[in-house]
Amino acid sequence: MSPSRESFEWIDSDSGFVDACKAAAEAPFYALDTEFHRERTYYPHVALLQLKWDDTVVLVDTLAVEMAPLGDLLTSAALPLLHAADQDLEVFRRVCGVLPSRMFDTQIVANFAGFSTPSLAALVERIVGVRLPKGDRMTDWTRRPLTDGQRSYAAADVEYLGAIRDHLVAELAPTGRLDWAEAECASALARAAAPSDPAVAWWRIKEARQCRGVARAIAQELGAWREARAQETDVPIRFVLPDLAVAGIAQAAPTTLAQLNAVRGLSGRGLRGDVASEVLTAVQRGKALPPDQLRVPLTDDLEREQRPAAALAAAWVAQLAKYERIDATLLATRADLTSFLAGNADARLRQGWRADLVGKPLAKLVAGEAALVFDGNGGLLLEERSGVPLEGRL
């Protein structure tokens, strides 16, 4: 089942949106979601906003209303409920310039209750017992009027978030994990609020990460230029320069237009004019980049002799995640382990709930005060080290 056509209101006037935001702000919490397009743009362009408070569901035509009232709602005392909020947060910053001061992300919180990065549909079915309507992933949300199917699909995205929140709070509060989940939601908000660092944009390019020497510095400068150009022109970064071209230019280090356009990855569409000039300038900046200004991925910072320790720690984290019923990547990513083993004071495994659950036991393992052993049932166990060698040890 899904919300019926009569169970939600369509809002396409400024006054109606103002009234809805004021009413939602007076509730203890409200559910919020957006539909947007970004296939041909750098920034998400919002086409619909779904909002629920108490028993009221509204669909807001964001193509017809001024979005400023949303900022007042986000900064109110009411708690926003979202699911997989990363891109929604980006939308909020874009359309009204603010983020909520706190949030409850049902996907993040569900990770602490034994779900592994669940979809909204999976949570609704498991917790509420309702199957959400299937929607067309490529539906055009800018079309007006929206079909009944589109409206029902959109309304369902906020209809059950309150029920999911109630279930997760009831399950996690007695165990103390609700504090962990709320801290993780706060961390997600902090990441969304932090300005992006163009110097690390090249980390997202698999082929560029394999570069070595000066090619890495060129990749860093090219990646930063590509990101800035995409933002300025509001086009996807791949439209500015494909990933393969960034890696190819970094390796070839061209100095002339002819050399540049001979690089593999440009798909036969030679660069010219200002774009070609800016690319060649970025190449020169990369060649001249001082070594101490090169930003390398965290996983590359680990000394060779520490890599076995990272592999051992990863194996233990996987076992711990299974035992604790928490997604392993939520406990500790490879970058988290690398940062911790490298001794970084601001490593995530030295902070908050992760320090108690992962960081402190891992510190004992690295210091030789604990041992990782098989538990006799195919699992791994971290235990105090006896220091007694096995007979026949070489």
Residue 297 has what pLDDT? Answer: 85
User: Please, are residues 269 and 237 in contact by the beta-carbon 8 Å criterion?
Assistant: no
Radius of gyration over every alpha carbon of the chain, rounded to an integer in angstroms: 25
**Which two structure tokens, joined as six digits, stand for 365?**
């393992």
CB 158 within 8 A of CB 8: no
Whether residues 29 and 117 share a domain: the answer is yes
Question: CB atoms < 10 A from the CB of 169, how many?
Answer: 15
Task: Report whether 92 contacts 40 (CB < 8 A).
Answer: no
In this structure, are 321 and 360 located in the same domain?
A: yes
Strands 45-53 and 29-37: antiparallel
Residue 341's domain comprises 298-384
Q: Is 390 inside a domain boundary? A: no
Query: What letters, b where the CB count within 10 A reaches 16 and e where it falls short, cover 15-40?
Result: ebbbebbebbbebebbbbbbbbeeee
**Both 287 and 377 in a single domain?**
no
Indicate whether this model's pTM tops 0.85.
yes
Q: Classify residue 168: in a domain, yes or no.
A: yes
Say if 389 falls within a structural domain. Answer: no
Same domain, 23 and 160: yes
- C-alpha span between 170 and 374 (Å, rounded): 35
Q: Is residue 185 part of a domain?
A: yes
Q: Please report, for the domain that includes residue 349, its CATH number.
A: 1.10.150.80
Residues 47 and 151 in one domain: yes
Strand ranges across the sheet with 29-37: 9-11, 56-60, 45-53, 29-37, 79-82, 104-105
In a domain, 174, yes or no: yes
Quickly count: other Cβ atoms within 10 Å of residue 368's Cβ.
9
Q: How far apart are alpha carbons 193 and 99 in whole angstroms?
A: 7
Domain-located, residue 137? yes
Query: pLDDT at position 2, please?
Result: 46
pLDDT (0 to 100) of residue 1 = 43
Q: What is the CATH number of the domain that holds 133?
A: 3.30.420.10
Domain count across the chain: 3
Amino acid at 29: F
331 is a domain residue: yes
pLDDT tens digit at each of 394 positions of the chain: 444 445 899 999 999 999 999 999 999 999 999 999 999 999 999 999 999 999 999 999 999 999 999 999 999 999 999 999 999 999 999 999 999 999 999 999 999 999 988 999 999 999 999 999 877 667 999 999 999 999 999 999 999 999 999 999 999 999 999 999 999 999 999 999 999 999 999 999 999 999 999 999 999 999 999 999 999 999 999 999 999 999 999 999 999 999 999 998 886 677 889 999 999 999 999 999 999 999 998 776 667 777 788 888 999 999 999 999 998 889 999 889 999 998 889 999 999 999 999 999 999 998 889 988 888 888 888 888 887 877 655 4
Alpha-carbon gap, residue 68 to 60, rounded angstroms: 13
Same domain, 134 and 20: yes
SS3 letters for 161-189? HHHHHHHHHHHHHHHCHHHHHHHHHHHHH
pLDDT at 215: 97
Assess whether 59 and 169 both reside in one domain: yes
Alpha carbons 371 and 362: distance in angstroms, whole number:
10
Let me know whether 163 and 217 are in one domain: no
Inside any domain, residue 393: no
Helix and strand totals (H; E) in the chain: 19, 8
